[in-house]
Homo-oligomer: A and B are copies of this chain.
Amino acid sequence: MRVGLKSWMQPHLDRVERALSAGIAAESPADLGQAMRYAVLDGGKRLRPLLVLATAEAVGDVANSPAALNAACAIELIHAYSLVHDDMPCMDNDVLRRGKPTVHVQFGEAQALLAGDALLTLAFEMLTPPDGSVPAAVQAACVALLARASGYQGMAGGQAIDLASVGQRLSEDQLRQMHRLKTGAVLLCSVQMGAACVPGVPAEAHAALTRFGQALGLAFQVVDDVLDVTADSVTLGKTAGKDQAADKPTYVALMGLDAAKAYADALAAQAMQALAETGLPEARLAALRGLTAMVVERDN
């Protein structure tokens, strides 16, 4: 990882971790908060929150913006809920996540179902703080973006396609559509919420950031498919080779390993180009460029 990115990331990761921890009370009815904390804290790359914060700082002078921090936490809660439900026996039936037993293994299926529901709901609590620190218009804009990105015409819809496509042969267009919804919509939403936290961003910058988020989201998924084949479970922190074993359609299955790697690089280049087209000062784009490189170069 680039040195500049690392020094930017650490304080931002610390803020997100503290805010997530503060946002989920350990004391809660029937220990539901414990299952939620287990699902969210001390794990994960926090790519989505970092994208929110890096975008907000790219479009405005908003270091330590409460709006951006709330949005960063909210998108990570959505990500965490989706993993908890995805891992359940009726879905992917997975037992390992971030190197730990999955939530339903640790707490039981019913508590995992409720913890996922509650994490999803908490995302919208996070976006609507009662303390007056975030303008109502920013709150409403972020809720609108997040709900649409994660709902049935976004992430949940993509998961439904994923379920329905096991053992099917998808065309590249169909595969791209599935991933655009399943992982791409929430990654794009991270960028869009970051921009929505700052009033007055020019339309040209918004459009270029949208292209950036789309290319990055697809690159992320292609790399995921590559890692499913090339990485081992310990490095990955989750079961490797799972998609292949389940005969799921992936970019590697569709185009082969080398072509998939080259495609990921091409998408990263597209994302970098879109950043140049935002018209924002290059100095402000360093964190977003660093995160883009991290997505393609990661080994888990």
Query: Interface on A for B, CB 8 Å cutoff?
Result: 24-25, 28-33, 36, 81, 85, 88, 90-91, 108-111, 113-114, 116-118, 120-122, 124-125, 127-128, 130, 135-137, 139-141, 143-144, 146-148, 150-153, 156-161, 163-165, 181
Contacts and interface: CB of A to CB of B under 8 A. Distances in A.
A23 to B, nearest CB: 11
Nearest to A121: B151
Nearest to A124: B147
A147 B159 CA distance: 23
Given A90-B110, A114-B163, A128-B143, 10 more contacts: A24-B152, A29-B157, A32-B152, A85-B114, A90-B109, A90-B113, A111-B160, A122-B147, A122-B152, A128-B144
A121 B123 CA distance: 10
Q: Which 9 A-B pairs have the closest CB atoms?
A: A29-B157, A30-B160, A90-B109, A118-B152, A128-B144, A121-B151, A124-B147, A139-B140, A32-B160
A39 to B, nearest CB: 12
